[in-house]
Amino acid sequence: QQQQQQQQQQQPGGGQASITDAIQNINIANYVTINPNITGIFQQYPQLRAQVVAAINQAISEIILPVVERSVTIACITTREMILKDFAFETDESAVKIASHLMVQNLAGSLALVTCKEPLRHSMASQLRNALIKTQVVDAQWVEQAAQVIAQENLELGCNLIEKAATDKALRDVDFQIAQAMELRRTPKTPLHDQFIQMHNWLRFLPEALRPKAGALVPHQKRVYEDFAKLPRDRVAQQAGGAAGGPSEQAVGAFEGQQQQQQQKQQQQQQQQQQ
């Protein structure tokens, strides 16, 4: 456990500070929504809005760290192992990086959304309830109703912020992990093929369809990573949290371009050998 903490500290973007910065750098007061049916009391007591914003911010801060850490850890481990297997004989490091980005940010974001939604809903309602009661300007019955309504309407805002924090950290962490593996491949006097066999003795146990092939991925293997960009995710309140959605079309296009270039190079080499 101590070793894992040390690795997280060494990784760019690791640790609690960088995760909580995702909230601190955004003024969520501009994005908090209050139902029109209860805005009258906020017009009568303007100080209530500040209490609501503080409560929502506190609820997100309580949830974001464990959710992001867990989601990113699972996503990075899964992505790293898949990438190092499928791209074992890939010489174009940019293609490896693009594919890892396509996969890890969708996994991390989806895991974060699934994990955070219900805990965040309860945390928001609790924080709002406590904050509004302390103001002593409204009755308890109204507080309970308002807490539930405001929590529900701002749940998507909180989920989006947590999703974005997870995808941002996942990209940084997977780059660090993949870079370490690629550095091993560049070890002098160690052929890529022999090194991979030494590191993965289980390769011979894989079915033929799953074994990595020399050179670029075949189309159906490449499509697995491209499809990560097309998987729908519950993207909400994007203006508040930034575009936290799936990989962009530019990233997919870059990945496809890299693979096509690699295939063209291989064809040229084969033609030269035949000549």
Instruction: Look at residue 158 in the predicted model and tell me its pLDDT.
Output: 94
Picking from 198, 228, 191, the residue whose alpha carbon sits closest to that of residue 101 is 228
Query: What are the backbone angles phi and psi of residue 26, rounded to the nearest 5°?
Result: -120, 130
| Average pLDDT of every residue of the chain | 76
Residue 235: DSSP 8-state: -
- How far, in Å, CA of 252 to CA of 221, rounded? 14
Asked whether the beta carbons of 42 and 34 are under 8 A apart, the reply is: yes
pLDDT tens, 119-151?
999 999 999 999 999 888 778 888 888 999 999
User: Which bin fits 136, alpha (ψ -120 to 50), beta or left (φ > 0)?
Assistant: left
Kindly report the pTM of this predicted structure.
Answer: 0.72
Give the Å distances, CA to CA, from 260 to 63, 159, 206, 209, 265.
43, 37, 26, 21, 9
Question: What's residue 129's pLDDT?
Answer: 94
User: Which residue in 7, 197, 169, 8 sits closest to 79, CA to CA?
Assistant: 169
What is the C-alpha radius of gyration for the chain, rounded to an integer number of angstroms?
Answer: 24
pLDDT for residue 91: 76
Helices then strands, counting H and E runs in the chain, come out as 10, 0
Q: Which residues of the chain have pLDDT under 70?
A: 1-25, 187-204, 206, 209-221, 231-275
CA dihedral 58, 59, 61, 62 (to 10 degrees): 120
pLDDT at 11: 57
Question: Reduced to 3 DSSP states, what percent helix, strand and coil does the chain have, rounded to the nearest 5?
Answer: 80, 0, 20
- Torsion, CA 237, CA 240, CA 245, CA 251, rounded to 10: 150
Contacts of residue 254, defined as CB under 8 A and 6 or more positions apart, other chains included, come to: 94, 98
Indicate the burial class of 114 (C-beta count within 10 angstroms; 0-12, 13-18, 19 or more).
middle
pLDDT at 247: 46
Per-domain residue ranges of the chain: 15-262
pLDDT at residue 88 in the model:
77
